[in-house]
């Protein structure tokens, strides 16, 4: 949204500010305003994440492990519980079938967490991790 306003506002600077250096400085300030705002938002979210992760309470710092365990349980249901359960039910002559868990919505979360874990392992291997 802000990007759409940059062009018209910059063209207005030509009419109202005669000094070329001042006009260029203001045009640059306007052009980088949205990036600075996005950067500040990202920094503030990082601070929130640090505070959450450092908290002693499981209900505050434990949401990331909880998401990982939900993903593990979903994968276990699809690849262990359902096939073994269906095998046992078939061997007993039952027509009941244990349904599979829909992994389509869970996989992006799981892949993101695995990617972050891999990045952390790489940092540790290179010796550049921060322990605090």
Residues in contact with 76: Cβ distance below 8 Å, sequence separation at least 6, in sequence order: none
Label residue 85 by pLDDT band (50, 70, 90): very high
Question: What's the full length of the chain, in residues?
Answer: 132
Rounded to a whole number of angstroms, the distance between the first and last alpha carbons of the chain is 38
**C-alpha to C-alpha distance for 122 and 50, rounded to whole angstroms:** 20
Q: Which tops the pLDDT comparison, 97 or 59? A: 97
Question: Rounded mean pLDDT of 27-39?
Answer: 79
Query: DSSP secondary-structure letter at 56?
Result: S
The answer, as to whether pTM is greater than 0.75, is no
As a whole number, mean pLDDT of residues 38-63 equals: 73
């Amino acid at each position: 949204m802000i990007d759409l306003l940059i062009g018209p506002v910059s063209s207005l600077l030509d009419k109202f500010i005669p000094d070329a250096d001042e006009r260029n400085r203001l045009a640059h300030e306007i052009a980088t305003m949205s990036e600075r705002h996005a950067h500040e938002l990202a920094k503030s979210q990082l601070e929130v994440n640090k505070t959450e992760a450092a908290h002693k309470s499981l209900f505050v710092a434990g949401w990331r492990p909880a998401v990982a365990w939900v993903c593990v349980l979903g994968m276990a249901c699809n690849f262990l519980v359902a096939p073994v359960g269906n095998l046992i039910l078939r061997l007993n002559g039952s027509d009941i079938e244990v349904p599979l868990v829909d992994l389509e919505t869970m996989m992006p979360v799981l892949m993101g967490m695995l990617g972050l874990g891999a990045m952390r392992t790489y940092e540790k291997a290179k010796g550049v991790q921060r322990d605090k």
